[in-house]
A and B are shown apart, each in its own frame.
Chain A
Amino acid sequence: MKREDLNHTGAHKINNTIGQALLAKFMGKPRIIAETGAGQHGVASATIAARLGLQCDVYMGAEDIKRQSANVFRMKLMGANVIPVESGSRTLKDALNEALRDWAANVDNTYYIIGTAAGPHPYPRMVRDFQSVIGREARQQSLEQFGRLPDALVACVGGGSNAIGLFHPFLHDVDVAMYGVEAGGDGLETGRHAAPLSAGRPGILHGNRTYLMTDDAGQIMETHSVSAGLDYPGVGPEHSWLKDIGRVSYVAATDTEALEAFRRLSRMEGIIPALETSHAIAHAGKLAAGMSKDKIIVVNLSGRGDKDIHTVASIDGINI
């Protein structure tokens, strides 16, 4: 397990926000804005803004604010404003739309830190470059600790930043298989999911052409996942390309499978993973069942699950 959950703020998001916030500072922008789904990117943005003395405004879908109230509070504690987005479906894609609107109006003094590997160029490349520390470290540490490269890499895919960060430095290592795990929600066949690579088609959203959950009329569909951070109807365009060339296999894990993996890892390792990450754990378990014991799978533990305990407790009917 590549322990991105041990990062300050509890997820891989900080790798990206530090890089982009330093860029904002270099560009002389006193203000950063961000969109956030689960709140991890919002927290990571608020964190670095506090550290660098930047004003920080975070757009968050009103639906997401309800299910991630701890992260909302964290952002505010660090001095950021959390602006609820009531338009559209009130989730991540709408927060991104609102951040784009703000940026268009305030570009002179504002830098927009996009939290994932999607959006207009140069964001997909820039976010990938900042997140590729994950893969570089994993590659080096694999050689140091295993004496060889892993047989497989597994990462969850929402917008795709933790996955591309892990995968990118290994792309030329042809014997390293790669699996991106999307949010299967209630199951791909129900249409209630967030799996554009598995069940979508190419379209244009947020300044990139990529696999999207779009209906026959070209409208963007609502996504459904127990994990707010995977709840995006698009995906970073580099993943779309990696799918098309067959370098990475994109699969999906359902809410049920993710929740089961969440509990299993907590019990078996004493590590509570984020619900997003749990999708990767779920698939890694399936993969491992079909591989011999001498094989090595590296799973990106993209975030810790403290932020999700209220969600899981409520699913269990427990009031905490």
Chain B
Amino acid sequence: MSRISQTIAALRSAQRKVLVPYLVAGDPDKGTTVVLMHALVEAGADIIELGVPFSDPSSDGTVIQLGAERALRQGTTLHDVLDIVRQFREVDTRTPIVLMGYLNPVEIMGYEAFASDAQAAGADGVLIVDMPAYECEDLFRAVRPRGLDTVFLVAPTTTEARLASICAHSTGYLYYVSLKGVTGAAIKDKGDIKGKIEHLRTITDLPVIVGFGIKDAQSAVDMAVISDGVIVGSALVDRISHLRSGETYSQAALADTVAVISSIRQAIENIK
């Protein structure tokens, strides 16, 4: 069982929801990302989605776009992101890490080189936002034998046929996109999401974690009650945007930055 599957299985047995923060690697700088990741675990993160910055993030709203721009201004590369994973792993060998990004940086690094380094660094999964499930063969040939989970997005507009294909190719968990749009937008159709997730449950046993638009205790609770957990990205990246590169932050300052995660942890604690 992968680290991701084990983590989620343990949470499910304990009747607890999965909390997955997302942050852009290298924002405001590599060192701060590592300490933020530890702070997130302190704050109650179960899995961390680590964003690989890309120049053309067409699925991201302004907050994460700006985070990516800040990271790219620091010269952050995919190699740097894997270094961040390595450094995190020196201290934390428990918390699963999913590398989330767009396909081009992986394509240019080379699938074998990427998969090999990702495994060696201690990453647990990949989520390539713009790689459709039916284009995954080349990447899978590299990542699957190395035990990396492959996470895909399911959207409100995903057709039945694509849903079947996505479920067949997914491991670890399914990322259900709560809204039509980009990261950081507002969730409008809660009832619709419930129905969609119920439908997903009839097709797959994979845990379903909801992301996009979850920004506070209320929105987290709304989504957590109908799923296995929540992903929080823009709300966190927005707080991180106040940090500066090259600074050293105290534990208190870091805890304050990730407070949205600790408050969400508290809010979803008693949902079964």
Binding site for B on A (CB under 8 A): 87-88, 93-94, 96-97, 100-101, 104-108, 201-207, 209, 212, 214, 216-220
> B120-141 interface mask toward A, CB cutoff 8 Å, 1 = contact, 0 = none?
0000000000110000000000
User: Cβ of B62 and Cβ of A87 under 8 Å apart?
Assistant: yes
User: Cβ of B185 and Cβ of A219 under 8 Å apart?
Assistant: no
Given contacts A214-B104, A217-B108, A218-B78, contact A107 B58 (CB under 8 A): no
Tell me, rounded to whole Å, the shortest Cβ–Cβ distance linking B139 to chain A.
Answer: 11
User: Cβ of A107 and Cβ of B180 under 8 Å apart?
Assistant: yes
Q: Which residues from 70 to 92 on chain B have a C-beta closer than 8 Å to any C-beta of chain A?
A: 72, 77-79
Q: Is B109 an interface residue (CB 8 A)?
A: yes
User: Cβ of A219 and Cβ of B107 under 8 Å apart?
Assistant: no
Tell me, rounded to whole Å, the shortest Cβ–Cβ distance linking A27 to chain B.
Answer: 14
Q: A94: which B residues are within 8 A, CB to CB?
A: 56
User: Cβ of B180 and Cβ of A212 under 8 Å apart?
Assistant: no
User: Cβ of A93 and Cβ of B56 under 8 Å apart?
Assistant: yes
Q: B108: which A residues are within 8 A, CB to CB?
A: 201, 203, 214, 216-218
Q: How many A-B residue pairs have CB under 8 A?
A: 75
User: Cβ of A104 and Cβ of B130 under 8 Å apart?
Assistant: no
Q: B181: which A residues are within 8 A, CB to CB?
A: 101, 104-105
> B178-206 interface mask toward A, CB cutoff 8 Å, 1 = contact, 0 = none?
01111001000000000000000000000
Q: Is B157 an interface residue (CB 8 A)?
A: yes
Q: A93: which B residues are within 8 A, CB to CB?
A: 56
The secondary-structure label for the interface of chain B is loop
Given contacts A204-B107, A218-B107, A220-B104, contact A100 B58 (CB under 8 A): yes
Q: Is B9 an interface residue (CB 8 A)?
A: no
User: Cβ of B65 and Cβ of A87 under 8 Å apart?
Assistant: yes
User: Cβ of A104 and Cβ of B182 under 8 Å apart?
Assistant: yes
> B18-43 interface mask toward A, CB cutoff 8 Å, 1 = contact, 0 = none?
00000000000000000000000000
User: Cβ of B109 and Cβ of A220 under 8 Å apart?
Assistant: no
Tell me, rounded to whole Å, the shortest Cβ–Cβ distance linking B179 to chain A.
Answer: 8
Q: A218: which B residues are within 8 A, CB to CB?
A: 54, 78, 104-109
- Cβ contact of A204, chosen from B57, B77, B79, B130, cutoff 8 A: B130
Tell me, rounded to whole Å, the shortest Cβ–Cβ distance linking B55 to chain A.
Answer: 4
> B143-171 interface mask toward A, CB cutoff 8 Å, 1 = contact, 0 = none?
00000000000000100000000000000
A107 to B57, CA, bound (A): 19
A96 to B69, CA, bound (A): 17
User: Cβ of A105 and Cβ of B180 under 8 Å apart?
Assistant: yes
Tell me, rounded to whole Å, the shortest Cβ–Cβ distance linking A28 to chain B.
Answer: 16
A-B contact pairs, 22 of them (CB 8 A): A88-B69, A97-B56, A100-B58, A101-B60, A101-B181, A104-B59, A104-B181, A104-B182, A105-B180, A105-B182, A106-B180, A107-B157, A203-B108, A209-B107, A212-B104, A217-B105, A217-B108, A218-B106, A218-B107, A219-B55, A219-B105, A220-B55
Q: A214: which B residues are within 8 A, CB to CB?
A: 104, 108
Chain A's closest residue to B181 (CB) is: A105
Q: Is B44 an interface residue (CB 8 A)?
A: no
A105 to B77, CA, bound (A): 29
A144 to B262, CA, bound (A): 76
Q: A108: which B residues are within 8 A, CB to CB?
A: 180
- Cβ contact of B182, chosen from A101, A205, A212, A220, cutoff 8 A: A101
Tell me, rounded to whole Å, the shortest Cβ–Cβ distance linking B153 to chain A.
Answer: 11
A97 to B179, CA, bound (A): 18
Chain A's closest residue to B182 (CB) is: A101
A100 to B180, CA, bound (A): 12
Chain A's closest residue to B177 (CB) is: A104
Q: Is B259 an interface residue (CB 8 A)?
A: no
Given contacts A214-B108, A218-B105, A219-B105, contact A207 B130 (CB under 8 A): yes
